[in-house]
Chains A and B, each alone.
Chain A
Amino acid sequence: MALRELEYPFDTQYILKKRKALKRKLLADGTSRLKKKIAVLGGSTTEDIVSAAELFLLNFGIEAKFYQSEYAQYWEDGVFGNAELDSFSPDLIYVCTSLCNLRFEPDPARTREDSKALLDAEFGRFETLWDKLGRFGCPVIQNNFELPFYALMGNMDCRHHSALGYAVNVMNLRFADYAQEHSNFYLLDLNRTSAEYGLERWHDRSYWYMYKYMCAREAVPYIGYQLALIVKSVYGKNRKLLALDLDNTLWGGIVGDDGVNGLAIGQETGVSQAYYEFQKYAGQLKSLGTVLTVCSKNEEENALAGLNHPEGALRPDDFALIKANWDPKDKNLLETVGQLDLLPSAIVFADDNPAEREIVRQSIPEAAIPELTEPEKYITAISRSGYFEPVTISADDLKRSEMYRQNAKRAELAASVTDYGEYLKSLEMIGEIMPFAEIYYQRIAQLTNKSNQFNLTTRRYSESDIAGFAASDEYITLYGKLSDRFGDNGVVSVVIGQIQEDTLYITLWLMSCRVLKRDMELAMLDGLVKEAKARGIKKLIGEYIPTAKNKMVKHFYDSVLGFRLVTEEDDGSAKYELDITDYTDKNKYISTGKDSL
């Protein structure tokens, strides 16, 4: 269950006042949530930031436990450690510093060289901290700096080497460069967050003097929100799909009544520019990996005519699916996620009509539904919500939209072929099944964090965990890529097994739902057996740990792969085994290259 009080745009006074009741409500709703331990290394008071982040994270399906440094001990804790932090063993570290932690006094008498040396030393101080945090082998989120509450040198403050404004700009760029060069390191953009809030309101000096708050109390939840956005994205809880209405959402006017020529879209008027900008924004989201679909009450012919408007920024091909009909929108949306192998929790539904939004809100509570009021505000209503908050941009993200389109085409082919084996053959599938390779570590870690349905044990791993398995002799690791005549699906399956004498314990087996029913799992088993036999292994043990989402693989080992049930517990978890001494390959439809297993 998600609470609307915690969805953007939120009332921070209300959240601060009601936080205990909100937390109680969220924890009592019976949702099963991802559990994570977050160490907050603070440079000022962090308790309120943490309690706000805790609420937003619960709303995103993550139940976090927090460690908080003693007041302003972020550097000491990070560099020298302490027993409490070490035993806490964080899954993620948040360094919550701000301008009050930047050691740089404005001094117009200083030389430019001395100013530079000061900034180098200050950056070095943070770099030391980040290096030392590497010992935890977990993601690190670091704040950048907000601008000061006054400009000593006025307009020159932003450009004079000895001024604080300049120092903030330089440090923020250097932090950004560091983030670009290091994986598992993320910046929380305090600079933008404070600017969006309004710098004058952001700085509340009495709360700094009295309580050592880095910003006004009412602004605090915004920091917690940004933290929650990054964390939910790191753990694969971003939304994936933007389902768009057409009339008065993607263009002004009603295409069925006004005709294509009567629509407001393009550069002609202010209103048409607003809709054009929104179409362009949707196109930009698509290029970042968000899947676009249409959900509109329209004749399909009219919908397509509108989308082919010469002045529009989007084309029909930009959408993975177009649902333009007179069915209820909730029905269309559920069909859309069904056809794209997504879950209802992937949906963001954008519609200017409050009645449509309310119906969908009632019938698909997992969907996110921004309040679209005037077209000039559509973009910020979506962007500030952080539905699609990117933390890394993988090659896969960039191609995702295309993949979903290809899937829709495969579905068309499947419908035209009556024999399923014939269909699989006609796909001309090529697999690549190999031990983990470094170029795929990021994608493999992403899959372990995102896959819920086809995931036998739902163990979540970071990129450094993945590197560790790959390097260890104790483990057999495999990734599987699959391409076919419609395109490349990229890495879609991951298997990890731990060797104990002549037995291989399969600790992780997952597959992306985009390649369900393609026999990829059989090709993976063939590869696994081949690799296992090469190491003298005689028996595989598979494990199933039930979660709310992985029922589809409850009988994967016995029914699909032919393992034998060994034990089954009351909670539904079970162990299976397979003797591989006389194993014969099972996959018939996927050809694997000569390098592949």
Chain B
Amino acid sequence: MNEKEVYKRLEAVFHDVFDDDSIRLTAKTTADDIEDWDSMEHINLIGAVEDEFGLRFKMGEVSGMKNVGEMVGIIMKRGK
């Protein structure tokens, strides 16, 4: 799975969770860039990403992730 594929699938998850097909992701995207990305939606987003890539983020990873780039990094290592 290359980085481009991960971004494509991840973008589709974001589109579903935020019900907004105009979202485009880059490594630097953070919660500040997406209007509905609050703490509750964050949990749902993490869950949906886990479902999509068949992985579980470790507890430390979730609190440590600063932007989409770091999320993609973890997915590249452990995702399916």
Using a CB–CB cutoff of 8 Å, the interface residues on chain A facing chain B are 13, 16-21, 24, 45, 47-48, 206, 209-211, 213, 217-218
Contacts and interface: CB of A to CB of B under 8 A. Distances in A.
A213 B48 CA distance: 16
B19 A21 contact: yes
B43 to A, nearest CB: 5
A206 B18 CA distance: 24
A21 B12 CA distance: 13
Contacts of B44: 16-17, 19, 48, 217
A18 B43 contact: no
A24 B48 contact: no
Interface of A is mostly: helix
Nearest to A206: B59
A24 B20 CA distance: 12
A501 B16 CA distance: 59
B17 A17 contact: yes
A21 B17 CA distance: 8
Interface of B: 13, 16-19, 40, 43-44, 47-48, 51, 56, 59, 62-63
7 contacts: A16-B44, A16-B47, A17-B16, A18-B16, A20-B19, A48-B43, A217-B43
A47 B40 contact: yes
Which of B47, B48, B56, B59 has the most C-beta atoms of chain A within 10 angstroms of its own C-beta?
B47
A84 B19 CA distance: 29
A511 B63 CA distance: 59
Contacts of A24: 19
B18 A20 contact: yes
A217 to B, nearest CB: 5
Nearest to B12: A17
Given A13-B51, A206-B59, A210-B59, A20 B43 contact: no
B47 A217 contact: yes
A45 B39 CA distance: 12
Nearest to A217: B47
A84 B56 CA distance: 38
A210 B65 CA distance: 14
Contacts of B47: 16, 217-218
Contacts of B13: 17
B40 to A, nearest CB: 5
A48 B56 CA distance: 19
A211 B17 contact: no
* Closest CB pairs A-B (n = 10): A20-B19, A17-B48, A217-B47, A13-B51, A47-B40, A17-B16, A21-B19, A211-B43, A206-B59, A18-B16
A215 to B, nearest CB: 13
A17 B18 CA distance: 9
Given A17-B51, A18-B16, A21-B16, A209 B43 contact: no
B62 A210 contact: yes
A205 to B, nearest CB: 10
A449 B56 CA distance: 45
Nearest to B49: A17
Contacts of B17: 17, 20
Nearest to A21: B19
Nearest to B63: A210
Contacts of B48: 13, 16-17
Contacts of A19: 44
Nearest to A205: B59
Contacts of A20: 16-19
B19 A209 contact: no
Contacts of B59: 206, 209-210
Contacts of A45: 43
A466 B63 CA distance: 52
A545 B65 CA distance: 56
Nearest to B38: A47
A217 B56 CA distance: 12
A309 to B, nearest CB: 48
A15 to B, nearest CB: 11
Nearest to B58: A206
A206 B59 CA distance: 7
B62 to A, nearest CB: 6
Contacts of A211: 43
A24 B44 CA distance: 18
B44 to A, nearest CB: 6
Contacts of B40: 47-48
B50 to A, nearest CB: 9
Which of A17, A47, A206, A217 has the most C-beta atoms of chain B within 10 angstroms of its own C-beta?
A17
B36 to A, nearest CB: 8
A211 B59 CA distance: 10
Nearest to A18: B16
A212 to B, nearest CB: 10
Nearest to B40: A47
Which of B19, B56, B63 has the most C-beta atoms of chain A within 10 angstroms of its own C-beta?
B19
B72 to A, nearest CB: 19
A218 B46 CA distance: 12
Contacts of A17: 13, 16-17, 44, 48, 51
Contacts of A217: 43-44, 47
Nearest to B17: A17
A20 B44 CA distance: 11
Contacts of A213: 43
A280 B68 CA distance: 56
A137 to B, nearest CB: 31
A473 B62 CA distance: 62
A218 B51 CA distance: 10
Contacts of A210: 59, 62-63
A178 B23 CA distance: 51
B68 to A, nearest CB: 17
A77 B51 CA distance: 35
